[in-house]
């Protein structure tokens, strides 16, 4: 399955936006969220820490680094608040 990334991810060693500390390779936990349909630019902007890709089956994939469990639950809460059902969520391999 081919995905087309639209936004660049922060570089290793960059400051994390939430904690202000430097990222290290051992801190990196990446998740992928599969969503039905296409997201508008406004909705996509609500997830600045995630990259967007278009799924080949009329869906959207958001993926990126998740700093900790609180961050993960915060992302899920944002999806719910915006009325976006998450069809699949998975941790990506290191």
Tell me the pLDDT tens digit for each residue of 25-68.
Answer: 566 799 999 998 889 999 999 999 999 987 777 789 999 999 99
* Nearest partner of 61 among 43, 91, 42, 86, judged by Cα: 86
pLDDT for 68: 92
pTM exceeds 0.85, yes or no: no
CA distances from 76 to 23, 37, 56 (A): 22, 17, 23
Residue with structure tokens 């915006």? 82
pLDDT for 9: 43
């Amino acid at each position: 399955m081919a995905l087309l990334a639209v936004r660049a991810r922060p570089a290793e060693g960059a400051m994390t936006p939430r904690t202000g500390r430097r990222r290290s390779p051992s801190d990196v936990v990446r998740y992928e969220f599969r969503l039905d349909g296409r997201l508008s630019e406004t909705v996509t902007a609500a997830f600045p820490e995630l990259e967007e890709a278009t799924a080949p089956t009329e869906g959207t994939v958001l993926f990126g680094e998740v700093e900790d469990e609180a961050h993960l639950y915060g992302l899920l809460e944002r999806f719910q608040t915006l009325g976006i059902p998450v069809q699949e969520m998975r941790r990506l391999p290191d």
